[in-house]
Amino acid sequence: MKKEVKTNVMRILEKEKVDYEAHYYPHGKEAVDGVTVAELTGQNPDYVFKTLVTVSNKKEYFVFVIPVAEELDLKKAAKAVGAKSIEMIHVKDINKITGYIRGGCSPVGMKKQFVTTYHETAQNNPVIMVSGGKIGTQVECKPDELLKITKGQYADICKD
């Protein structure tokens, strides 16, 4: 039997005594969209969240965690973090800013702890899944525990 490979995300969750369940899905070298990840892991897409990184007009970085089938509303997101305006970071900058690659970006264990906001629907779910820190790996946790270790908040940040 193949040994489970622990990611940095899993090590942080264990260190913080956060219960999690790892899920794995088959993949190539490229990232797949979140709805496909939900299908590959047999999960309801409402419980699978993607991690998006933005930059404000003042060059501050903000992290938003939203359901995979939803789209981030940049105006609502900026308001939630008290920024005048924000925009998505360029894909080429993901690794430099977060330490992760596209498709493996997790709100847990970035190079720096940025202000992190979870879509308000997360708090209604018994568990949510976020990236485990690399393509092909997801971790399932209670949303309030993720919120606590990322010093996050809940807000209405998706497009209507």
43-85 confidence digits (pLDDT tens): 999 999 999 999 999 999 999 999 999 999 999 999 999 999 9
* pTM of the model as a whole: 0.95
Band (pLDDT 50/70/90 cuts) for residue 107 is very high
CA distances from 26 to 13, 31, 38, 136 (A): 23, 11, 12, 6
Identify the band that residue 3 occupies on the pLDDT scale cut at 50, 70 and 90.
low
Superfamily of structural domain 8-155? YbaK/aminoacyl-tRNA synthetase-associated domain (3.90.960.10)
Q: What is the distance between the alpha carbons of residues 45 and 20, in angstroms, rounded to a whole number?
A: 18
User: Tens digits of per-residue pLDDT, 116-148?
Assistant: 999 999 999 999 999 999 999 999 999 999 999
Domain boundaries, given as residue ranges, for the chain: 8-155
